[in-house]
Every structure is written in C-alpha cells, then in structure tokens.
Structure 1
Amino acid sequence: MQKDRPLWALLGALVLVQICYPLTRGEVRAGLTVATVVLGYVLSVAHAWRCRGARAALALVATATLGGFAIEALGVATGFPFGTYDYSGQLGPKVLGVPLIIPLAWTWMAWPAWLAALRLARSRPARIALAAAGLAAWDLFLDPQMVAEGYWSWDSPTPALPGVPGVPIGNYLGWLGFALLLMTVLAAATGPAGHRRDGGDGPMMVLWLWTYASSVLAHAVFLGLPWSALWGGVLMGAVVLPLIPAARRGA
C-alpha cells in the first residue's frame, strides 16, 4: 500500500547499511552500526504508531527504550543481570556508562519479535514467552559480533558457550529474564491494539526474517564467527522459521 512506502523505504535503507557493514572496518564500521540501530529504531516506532496507534508506540518507547536503558545502566553499575561488563567509546556518547544507541537496539528488535509472536501464538502468555525467546535468541548473534569488534567486553566471560568465547552464558540468561519482563509489560501497556494482527505488518515481518537470515550468513561467511552462526541459527531459527508457513497461511 502507498501509505506503507515510508516504512518499506526505511527497511530498504537499513538493509543497505547492513550489507555494507562486513565490507568495512574501524570507524566506518562503527558508524554503520550506529546507523543501523537508528534506522531500526525509527522503523519500529514509526510502524507501531502507524499500525497500532499512539498508545502502542508510546508503550514501546516506555518499555523497550526507557526500560532498556534502565536495565543496561543497572547492569553496568552492578553486574546484574548480564554479568560485569563495560562499553568502549566506539558507539557514541554514553550516559551512566551506557551508549545512547543501546536502548534503541532493544526497541528496534522488541517490536518485530512481539508482532511475530502474534502470528504464532494465540494466548497472551504464549505470545510473551515466544516474543521473549526470539528477542533473547537474537543476542546469540549480537553479543559475539559486538565483542569481536571491541564495542563491549566482560570482566569474566566464563563459562561461555562452546565456540563462542568472550560472552558468559549468564548474559544470555539475563537477556531472557529481561525480555520476559519487557514483553509482559509491553503486552499490557499496548492495550487491545497491541494484540491485533494487522495487514500492514509486512515490513516488520520482513525485518524479522531478514535479521535472522542475514545474521546467519554474515557470521558464517563474512565475520569469521561460525559457532555463533550455528548457535543463533538453531535457537533463533526455532522461533523465526515457523513464521514462514504462518505468514503463508495468513496470506
């Protein structure tokens, strides 16, 4: 639809930036990381506003952006719930030790994770669990990639998943715990509109599938991270791949 064109244009720009990412190095790559997150954030919030209304968009910002910043600030200050870690200065300005783009990243991916869960589950508890699992599984790609780039690091990155050094297993458990809390609050705060399937969700579903497929490809082929490609490919795939037949049934 014509009114969806700005959303598709944002998605196209995001995909283009991500394609350029593995072809660059150093400050250029860091800049592309920031650009990707900003584009993704604008896309998700704009979609929430257009397709679910102001309440849903504000709920997304309150839970994922503000909540994401709060949990990251707590994590940097105390080591809970992700372990003791620090951010480098490569991702832009920081507040309370947290780069400002980090809570934007939570928001960017929380929204498509929730919308995908709407298509795969019928009850609210099942949707919350599925959306949280999808968001947490995305971190199986995110953290190994960002640690490899030196954007953040843990003081004690053990025990770690086989083949994925530098990221403690406790971090993934922290992601799952916060994702469950985030999705529980988001499900309540968005109201009835937040639980409605919408024909305009196409850009978000493509974003969710693209994020999964491109992450597997990039880690396996371009970034030299085959084990995170395997872990993320299997565990995030368990949540994402059922969306394909579900989308076909919906069509």
Structure 2
Amino acid sequence: MPAGAAILLVLVQIAYPLSGGDARDRITVAVVVLSAATALLHAWTTRGGGWALGFFAVVSGVGLGAEMVGTATGFPFGAYTYAVDRLGPAVAEVPLVIPLAWTGGLYPIWVVAGLLTGSPVGRAGLLVVGAVGWDLFLDPQMVADGQWTWAVTDAGLPGLPQIPYTNYLGWALVAAVMALLLTVLDRVLAPAHDRTVAVPVAVFGWTWLGSTLAHAVFLGLPASAAWGFTGLGLLGIPLLLRARRRATRADDPRSRG
C-alpha cells in the first residue's frame, strides 16, 4: 500500500507544473494528502499503528500549532498570510492541509536521518537540517503560486528575497521541537528496527532531485532549485554515498563469506 500511494504521489506531482488556476490548487491539495498518506501507511505497516499515530500527532499537531501562532503573531516564522479559499477548509486562517504537509514532508527526512546516524541527537539535528532544506523548495514554490504571502519581501536569501530569513529560523525551531518529541516517541514505543525503508527513501530522493529539476526547468525558479538542491543535499549526498558503499561491499567477493 505505501508503494502504491507513493506512485500516485509522483504522478500527481508531475501534473503540477502542467496545470494552473483552480486545477493547480486541487493538485496541490492532492499532493499533500498523498504525501501524508504515503508516510503514515509506511509508518503503520513497518513500525505499528501506535508509532504512526504518535508521529502524526507530533508532527501535524506541532505544525498546526506553530502555523496558528505564526499567522496570528508573526512568531516564529515572520509575518505572513495564507490565500483565502484556495486550499480547502481552514482553522484560525490556516488551511487544514498544512499540518498534513508537515507530516508528509518530514517523515522521509526522519527515516533518512535514521539511516545516516545511529545517534538520537545526530538524527534530531539532521531532521532540522532536512526540514529547512525541504522548505527551500516549498516556500518559493508556494509563494510563487500565491498560496501565502510574506509581509517582508526584501530580506531573504540571494535570489529569494521575497521569503525572509526569519522563516528558515522558524522552521529550524519548529523542527527541533518535533525532533525532540519524536526522539521521546521512539524511546516510549521502541519501534522495531525495520529495514523496509525503500518507499520513504525513494520519496526523499524524488523530492530532492525531482524538485530541483521542476524548479529549474518547469517552474522558472532557478534560485530555489539551487538552494533546495544544496540544502536537502546535506542529507541526500551522504545518502547516495552510503548507498554506493553498500553496493561496493555487496560486489566485493570477500564480503560473501
């Protein structure tokens, strides 16, 4: 089931740059729902229902809370507002698909971070890095599409002045809170060390490299293509090197006993 949801996710994402107007809004919602479904189905089938529900409660719960506080006060991301009536129902001016986006986006990063380090502290740190790296794709794409707007539009990264630096600091802070709670979740529920991680790893790779291609070629966002590739590549490149080392060992006759 997770693999089927992941395939649908990729197909719908491919349709995004080919669409516009109301159709693009519906595709955006579908992408979010499918990404969250892929994440939670994989978590449920490999780590158990309790862990999956815990992950959803932590990430979507903290994400929704942060967004509600953020739109009301400007903390911790900076002042911003969502477009009205474009992404479905909202609570406190935050579309309800937004917390689902946090779940769908951060689950593959959490899985990859666990592959790259066995240290809980290291994994938490990599989640923070990966979350900010993912947002280097997400925010420019959604701002360009008019899904949300920042009050400060001239205090951002080179090529991305419309998104203030405070946004990335806010992402790092929120992701750090999530990472702490997820570390506690792992201790409390002690999920089995399941090796079936192909789906979230594939979704991570598609998000990293597919978003780079889409931003650079189809969406006219070369700056976010470069920044996102670099940011998420802080996990992606070590992941590729890890895969290469494992393939080399598998091809080495001395490793076959």
TM over 0.5: yes
Aligned positions of 1:1-251 closer than 5 A: 6-89=1-84, 90-191=86-187, 197-249=193-245
1:191–1:248 distance in 2 versus 1, CA, 3 Å: farther
Q: CA deviation at 1:166?
A: 1.4
**C-alpha distance after superposition, 1:133-172 (max 9, x if no partner):** 1011100000000000000001113311111131101101
Identity, % of aligned positions: 44
Which consecutive unaligned segments of at least 5 residues does structure 2 have?
248-257
TM-score by length of 2: 0.92
1:65 Cα deviation from its structure 2 partner: 1.0
How far, CA to CA, are the matches of 1:209 and 1:195 in structure 2? 24
In structure 1, distance between residues paired with 2:215 and 2:190: 33
Which residue is 2:253 aligned to? none
Partner of 1:69, secondary structure, is: helix
Specify the structure having the higher radius of gyration (Cα).
Answer: 2
Q: CA deviation at 1:191?
A: 3.0
User: What is the root-mean-square deviation of aligned Cα atoms in Å?
Assistant: 1.5
Instruction: Provide structure 1 residue ranges, at least 5 long, that are not aligned to the other structure.
Output: 1-5
TM-score (norm 1): 0.94
Instruction: State the AA in 2 paired with 1:120.
Output: L
2:58–2:181 Cα contact (<8 Å) kept: yes
**How far apart in 2 are the matches of 1:248 and 1:14?**
27
Cα deviation for residue 192 of structure 1 reads 6.7
SS of match in other structure, 1:166: strand
State the AA in 1 paired with 2:220: G
Counterpart Cα distance in 2 of 1:30 and 1:8:
24
Count residues with an aligned counterpart: 246
CA deviation map 1:117-146 (0-9, x unaligned): 111012110010011210111000000000
